[in-house]
């Protein structure tokens, strides 16, 4: 998922909608991934019980 955002952007006054007018304005771009790929999930399910039993 791609995330884009602007926080504390002035919306009134002479500096409205200017991202450089206020030092508190933050611009963000981010990427996130939810869940595990199926192969990693299968590996974790197979490995976890062994580690709990004390085996490697």
Place of tokens 């976890």: 48
Closest C-alpha to 4, from 24, 31, 25, 22: 31
Q: How many domains does the chain have?
A: 1
Place of tokens 């991934």: 33
Instruction: Please name the residues in contact with 31: beta carbons below 8 A apart, sequence gap of 6 or more.
Output: 1, 2, 3
CA distance 3 to 12: 25
Instruction: Summarize pLDDT for 6-41 with one digit per residue, the tens.
Output: 999 999 999 999 988 888 999 999 998 777 677 777
- Give me the pLDDT at residue 26, please: 93
Find out whether 18 and 10 touch, Cβ atoms under 8 Å: yes
Residue 14 belongs to domain spanning: 2-53
**pTM recorded for the entire structure:** 0.46
């Amino acid at each position: 998922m791609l995330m884009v955002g602007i926080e504390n952007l002035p919306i009134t006054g002479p500096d409205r909608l200017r991202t450089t007018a206020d030092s508190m304005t933050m611009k963000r771009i981010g990427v996130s991934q939810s869940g595990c790929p199926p192969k990693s999930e299968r590996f974790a399910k197979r490995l976890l019980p062994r580690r709990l039993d004390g085996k490697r």
